Structure 1
Amino acid sequence: MIQRSSCLKTLIQSLRVTTPSSSPTKLAAYNCYTSQPASSLQEVSKPSASSPSNGDEYADVDWDNLGFGIMPTDYIYMMKSSEDGSFEKGQLNRYGNIELAPAAGVLNYGQGLYEGTKVYRKGDGRLLLFRPDQNAIRMKMGADRLCMPCPSIHQFVDAVKQVTLANKRWTPPPGKGTLYIRPLLMGSGPILGIAPAPEYTFLIYTSPVGNYFKEGFAPLNLYIEEEFHRASRGGAGGVKAITNYAPVLKPITRAKSRGFSDVLYLDSLHKKNLEEVSSCNIFLVKGNTISTPATSGTILQGITRRSIIEIASDQGYQVEERAVPVDELMDADEVFCTGTAVGVAPVGSITYQGKRIEYNIKAQSVSKELYDILEGIKTGLIEDKKGWVVEI
Structure 2
Amino acid sequence: MKMGAERICMPSPSVETFVDAVKETALANKRWVPPPGKGSLYIRPLLMGTGAVLGFAPAPDYTFLVYCSPVGNYFKGTFASLDLTIEDELHRATPGGAGGVKSITNYAPVLKGISKAKHEGYSEVLYLDSVHKKYIEEVSCCNIFVIKGNVISTPAASGTILEGITRKSIMEIASDQGYQVEERAIAVDELEDAGEVFCTGTAVGVAPVGTITYQGKR
Greater Rg, structure 1 or structure 2? 1
Amino acid in structure 2 at the alignment position of 1:177: G
Matching residue of 1:206: 68
Q: Please state whether the residue corresponding to 1:176 is helix, strand or coil.
A: coil
Matching residue of 2:194: 332
Amino acid in structure 2 at the alignment position of 1:352: Y
> Please, which runs of 5 or more residues in structure 2 have no aligned partner?
none
* 1:356-371 equivalences in 2 (<5 Å): 356=218
Distance 2:162 2:3 in 1: 11
- The offset of 1:257, in angstroms, is 1.1
Q: Please state whether the residue corresponding to 2:114 is helix, strand or coil.
A: helix
- The offset of 1:243, in angstroms, is 2.2
1:261 aligns with 2:127: no
Match 2:9 to one of 127, 144, 147: 147
Matching residue of 1:252: 114
Amino acid in structure 1 at the alignment position of 2:92: R
- The offset of 1:190, in angstroms, is 2.3
1:272 aligns with 2:134: yes
Match 1:230 to one of 68, 77, 92: 92
Distance 2:183 2:125 in 1: 21
- The offset of 1:195, in angstroms, is 1.4
1:13-63 per-residue CA deviation (whole Å, 9 max, x = no partner) reads xxxxxxxxxxxxxxxxxxxxxxxxxxxxxxxxxxxxxxxxxxxxxxxxxxx
Q: Please state whether the residue corresponding to 1:142 is helix, strand or coil.
A: helix
Matching residue of 1:382: none
1:162 aligns with 2:56: no
Q: Which runs of 4+ in 1 moved over 4 A?
A: none
- The offset of 1:192, in angstroms, is 2.4
Match 1:197 to one of 46, 56, 59: 59
- The offset of 1:174, in angstroms, is 1.9
- The offset of 1:314, in angstroms, is 0.1
Matching residue of 1:298: 160
- The offset of 1:177, in angstroms, is 1.1
Q: Please state whether the residue corresponding to 1:243 is helix, strand or coil.
A: helix
Distance 1:298 1:153 in 2: 25
1:216 aligns with 2:78: yes
- The offset of 1:245, in angstroms, is 1.0
1:217-272 per-residue CA deviation (whole Å, 9 max, x = no partner) reads 21100000012100011110000111221221111111111111000000001100
Q: Please state whether the residue corresponding to 1:240 is helix, strand or coil.
A: coil
Note the aligned Cα RMSD (angstroms). 0.9
Amino acid in structure 2 at the alignment position of 1:331: D
Amino acid in structure 1 at the alignment position of 2:97: G
- The offset of 1:165, in angstroms, is 0.8
TM-score where L is the length of structure 1: 0.55
TM-score where L is the length of structure 2: 0.98
- The offset of 1:182, in angstroms, is 1.0
Matching residue of 1:182: 44
Amino acid in structure 2 at the alignment position of 1:217: F
Distance 1:229 1:280 in 2: 15
CA contact (8 A) 2:99 2:105 kept: no
Distance 1:313 1:201 in 2: 39
Matching residue of 1:321: 183
Amino acid in structure 1 at the alignment position of 2:137: E
Matching residue of 1:342: 204
- The offset of 1:176, in angstroms, is 1.6
Amino acid in structure 2 at the alignment position of 1:314: D
Q: Please state whether the residue corresponding to 2:186 is helix, strand or coil.
A: coil
Report how many aligned residue pairs link the two structures: 218
Q: Please state whether the residue corresponding to 1:330 is helix, strand or coil.
A: helix
> Please, which runs of 5 or more residues in structure 1 have no aligned partner?
1-138, 357-392
Select between 240-249 and 338-347 the one with higher mean Cα deviation: 240-249
Amino acid in structure 2 at the alignment position of 1:203: L
Distance 2:117 2:78 in 1: 18
Distance 2:34 2:70 in 1: 7
Amino acid in structure 1 at the alignment position of 2:118: K
